[in-house]
A = this chain, B = another copy of it.
Amino acid sequence: MKALVYTKSGKIALEDRPRPEITAPGDAIVRVTHTTICGTDLHILKGDVATAEPGRILGHEGVGVVECVGAAVTSFKKGDHVLMSCVSACGTCAFCRKQMYSHCIHGGWLLGNSIDGTQAEFVRTPFAEMSLYHIPEGADEEALVMLSDILPTGFECGVLNGKVAPGSTVAIVGAGPVGLAALLTAQFYSPASIIMIDIDDNRLEIAKKFGATDVVNSANEKAAEKVMELTDQAGVDTAIEAVGIPATFELCQEIVAAGGIIANIGVHGTSASLHLETLWDRNIAITTRLVDTVTIPMLFKTAAAKTIDPALLISHHFTLAEGEAAYEAFGDAAKSKALKVIISPA
């Protein structure tokens, strides 16, 4: 089969690989119909992710059709249309019982990381009972790829951890795909305002279309001052960090209201300063989270009810053979204006 592989030279290449096979009773083999690229895939290409070694087929998102299942899988059978979670969860360990699938002792983020992933014609998905989801007939399957990772990430790490509420004020720092996913799902809770902060005017334009009440280009104006002005100097109830660098995390500390929450989504490579000298008495909370994808069932329901339109996040389409071009577009979003790019092996 064809697959997109992380090569020794730190690049992506289309290669021929043998089809995966069932290796445990809980496995399923899925024929991938649509997959996509995540910011984490770019990190792997840079060599930032130690567990992902050269030769790995990338990708941890996607939808497809079940090809076969292991002996212990009873909820899925050949021909079922399924969504694949980016997290493989055993369902029974202490973390899974607390719905912290991300920290599953036997699973977690495996696909396209420590085992071969979804950017291929076929993929082996461990713990299929917990990690695959039936797609209802008639659904827009391509759009549902957004439920593998990006929408649960924005929703769980940003919106739920940030306790967005009716009438509350929200700032989202970073209008990339995950920040936009937070923007879309924050609206489930009817906040009074969502202020979007980025340095790319194109993305801020998109944020406005997606429901941001205010946008701030932090390259052009002092973002903290602007947010304080927009909130009558109170700051925001929820500040969502969706970039992953110290400067943006520290901006969140400047704009969070007394009693508010900083919900971190960003993948950080270095430490940041925590200004406890000003925050120790502000009754705030800071949260971090690797997405658990426990909200996939809820997101399915909101998508079916058309409360959210996941397709909004899709900007480009490629075939598997065009995989390198897909990475190029996704990797240079400032130029390509890419949000999420769909790669369709089938």
Instruction: Enumerate chain A interface residues (CB-CB to B < 8 A).
Output: 25-26, 71-72, 75, 91-92, 94-100, 102-103, 129-130, 161, 165-168, 187-193, 213, 244, 249, 258-259, 264, 266-277, 279-290, 292, 294, 297-302, 304-305, 307
Contact = CB atoms under 8 A, between A and B. Distances in A.
Secondary structure at the A interface, as helix, strand, loop or mixed, is loop
B277 A288 contact: no
Contact of A280 (B96, B277, B288, B300): B288
Contact of A25 (B25, B161, B281, B300): B25
Contacts of A168: 301
Contacts of A98: 259
8 contacts: A95-B258, A103-B258, A167-B307, A192-B307, A271-B276, A276-B288, A281-B288, A282-B288
A95 B288 contact: no
A268 B191 CA distance: 33
Contacts of A268: 276-277, 280
Contacts of A274: 249, 271-274, 286
A284 B262 CA distance: 12
B283 A285 contact: no
Copies in the complex: 4
A190 B191 CA distance: 12
B271 A275 contact: yes
B91 A92 contact: yes
Contact of A279 (B100, B288, B294, B298): B288
Contacts of A290: 280-283
Contact of A305 (B193, B267, B297): B193
A94 B304 contact: no
A333 B102 CA distance: 45
B192 A189 contact: no
A272 B300 CA distance: 37
B244 A302 contact: no
Contacts of A292: 283
A94 B190 contact: no
B276 A192 contact: no
Given A271-B275, A277-B271, A297-B94, A259 B192 contact: no
